[in-house]
Amino acid sequence: MDIIQYLLFIIQQQHQMLCWLLNFICRYIPLKQWAFDDSHSPEYQKFSTDILPKFQVFHKQDWMFLMEYYQWRYPSKKPVKPVQRRNGKTIPEDTVCPRCDAPHHYQYDNNGGRGQFLCRICNQTYNTSETIKKPIRFLCPYCGNTLSLIKNRKSFRLHKCINKKCDFYLHNLKKVKKEHLKEEYGKNNYKLHYLYREYLYNFFEADLDSLPNNASSLKFKKYNPHVMSLCLTMHVNLQLSLRKTAQAIQDLYGIKISHQTVANYARTAAIMIKPFVDHYDYKKSETFIADETYINVRKIKGYVWFIMDAVSRSIIGYQVSDNRSIGPCIQTMRRAFRGISQLSESFKFIADGYSAYPLAAMQFAEKLGNTFSFKITQVIGLTNDDAVSTEFRHYKQIVERMNRTFKSTYKVSCGYDSFEGANYAVSLWVAYYNFLRPHQGKGYQVLNSIDLLDGAENMPGKWQLLIHLGQKTIVNLKNQAGS
């Protein structure tokens, strides 16, 4: 036997054995990642986020131009003729195609007199009760069927693919347990159809630099900037409440000051420092960590959203909100992505199992294109029950440790009096955390070192310099807006 033929025969046998082994492993010895992938579990399917739909733009046409074009493009075919009505049935004479304005002579009664029509010129289907108002139609990415509007919510509309022959629906239907199929509403326990949320607000046009109102002036009538910086040091750094801060100032320095004055100082400092904190050029890596925590605002549950950089440990995005919807999540992401024009392929965004993060990532991909297309790595639960949690748990612990540090400051105040007050309090705390607080993981150094702040001898002086840097940032932003 020829040596080449013999070697080819051996290679074919080895290839066949490898195929058998791979088939056996995939069936009976699943990989750890596959075994605990929640996206393949029918119970967790309802918490998944579907991909973006296909968008079909609605263009206005002229029916007479289309008829001439068809006759020129297909000269061998007969021209389009009006619809021949049968059994004496007709449609209203004022029926006009909303797309090409073809008259009623070219309109089919598409569903037996129930209001739907089909244009013979442009093949557009429409209803008489509603005209085409939206310039875009949403199509299912799996079957191409037009999505149906099923629910109207305060901030979004829910669209659904109702095609029973859709590949996405048939694939999910196979996962339904047989006993649930026999029940009358057993399928309602599962998410079977493709869903898309159309948000009514453009979260990417909202102002990120909005500041709290009712701030006091920096023109001191009774005290001076040093007293203001002393109040900030005790209130933010030493985690004293407003009343305890006023009491400490009086006991230590003999300055009688009210807790409301301390609150006014803190609010004014937040307005001055916040632009500098938000627009600072942080050294951002390719891994972001996100989490949200609860706060109490006059016995009403509020939320604080944080996004950290995994390498520098700096807080690069934060937001205070009275709801846990996608809007505050997008606002926080926009602050975190400030200064980034394109994401690398190795970029990672790590968060918990909350569904707002994948929905926000979908909105970034829809608005900004493929340059901001990224996936959310979700660390679910408190124990490492799957491969994803085992690999990325230590990232989640970083942001949880930061949350505990924030809560130690928040618990002293026993909640906030208003969301405005919560806004400036969180702004001051983020400034302290990023630029003034020594961190054990960084050798008891600050996260972001600034030469101007390093030259200050004490903490009150650093607060005054931070206010100075904030004022310079505000002037630069006004100059950029004017130019």
HEC assignment per residue over 455-482: CCCCHHHHHHHHHHHHHHHHHHHHHHHH
Quick one: tokens of 109?
A: 């009664």
**SS3 of residue 139 by DSSP:** strand
Q: CA 336 to CA 425: how far, in whole Å?
A: 19
DSSP H helices in 300-386: 326-336, 356-368
- In single-letter form, the type of residue at position 189 comes to N
Quick one: tokens of 283?
A: 């050294």
CB–CB of 7/16 below 8 Å? no
- In single-letter form, the type of residue at position 331 comes to Q
Q: CA 274 to CA 428: how far, in whole Å?
A: 8
**SS3 of residue 125 by DSSP:** strand
CB–CB of 248/234 below 8 Å? yes
Q: What is the pLDDT of residue 36?
A: 42
Per-residue pLDDT of the chain (483 residues; tens, 9 = 90+): 578 888 888 888 888 898 888 888 777 665 544 444 454 566 666 667 788 888 877 778 888 888 888 888 888 888 888 888 776 677 888 888 888 888 888 888 877 777 788 888 888 877 765 555 556 778 899 998 889 889 888 878 899 999 999 999 998 888 887 777 777 777 777 888 999 988 887 777 766 765 545 555 566 667 788 889 999 999 999 989 889 999 999 999 999 999 988 988 888 898 889 999 999 999 999 999 999 998 988 888 899 999 999 999 999 999 999 888 888 999 999 999 998 988 988 899 999 888 889 989 988 988 888 888 888 998 887 777 777 888 889 999 999 999 999 988 877 767 788 888 888 889 999 999 999 999 988 889 999 999 999 888 899 999 999 999 998 998 888 888 766
Q: Residue 38 gets which letter from DSSP? A: G
CB–CB of 474/272 below 8 Å? yes
Q: Phi and psi for 61 in degrees, rounded to 5?
A: -125, 165
Q: What is the pLDDT of residue 122?
A: 84
Q: CA 443 to CA 177: how far, in whole Å?
A: 55
- In single-letter form, the type of residue at position 130 comes to E
Domains and CATH numbers, the chain: 57-127 (no CATH), 139-199 (no CATH), 276-482 (3.30.420.10)
Count of CA atoms in the C-beta half-sphere (13 A) of 322? 10
The single residue listed with the structure tokens 């939320």 is 303
Q: CA 385 to CA 298: how far, in whole Å?
A: 38
Q: Phi and psi for 54 in degrees, rounded to 5?
A: -85, 140
Q: CA 192 to CA 171: how far, in whole Å?
A: 8
- Report the predicted TM-score, pTM, of the whole model to 2 decimal places: 0.73
